[in-house]
Structure 1
């Protein structure tokens, strides 16, 4: 699960935009997620990650912005027939 808002605070207030990118650091053979951001704050996040890396507060490595992709599934789906079937099966036990 991802946060439903960008990770950036503006003047002490949480950005209300939905995340558009997963921000991660690719270091050696590992990748570390450090947050999510919207398009508006992509450059700000990139700069902040660079500062944190230079201060040794997060891993050195390449900053990666991966687009957030929506994923849908049919495995969690219910309709009226499903509920009737469940009720009928549970009453037989």
Structure 2
């Protein structure tokens, strides 16, 4: 399960947009999920992660943005009531 809102907050107010990307750090051996973001905040997240990496507070590695995809399984059928707004027609950035 993912959060239903973008992870970015500004001036104490959380972004209300649904997540469009899973944000992770990829190094030689592993990938670490660090949050989710909407398309509008990709640059903000990139800058913040870069700053945290320079301070040694987060793993070094490449920042990766993977599009959020709707998935159905045996226990999650993917009925329309189950979905948070996901724009499947959005072009990849």
TM-score using structure 1 length: 0.77
Q: Within 5 Å, which residues of 2 pair with 1:2-17? A: 2-17=2-17
Aligned-residue Cα RMSD (Å) equals 1.4
Please state how far the C-alpha of 1:29 moved relative to its aligned partner. 1.2
Q: Does 1:26 align with 2:31?
A: no
Count residues in correspondence.
77
Residues in 1 aligned to 2:76 and 2:27: alpha-carbon distance in whole angstroms: 36
Q: Which runs of 4+ in 1 moved over 2 A?
A: 72-77
Quickly say closer, same or farther: Cα 1:28–1:15, change in 2 above 3 A.
same
Offset of residue 72 of structure 1: 2.5
Higher-Rg member (1/2): 1
Alignment of 1:32-43 (within 5 A): 32-43=32-43
TM-score, normalized by length of structure 2? 0.77
Deviation per CA, 1:18-76, whole angstroms, max 9, x where unpaired? 00000000011100000000000000000000000000000000000000001124655
Query: What runs of 5+ residues in structure 1 fail to find an aligned partner?
Result: 78-93
Q: CA deviation at 1:14?
A: 0.7
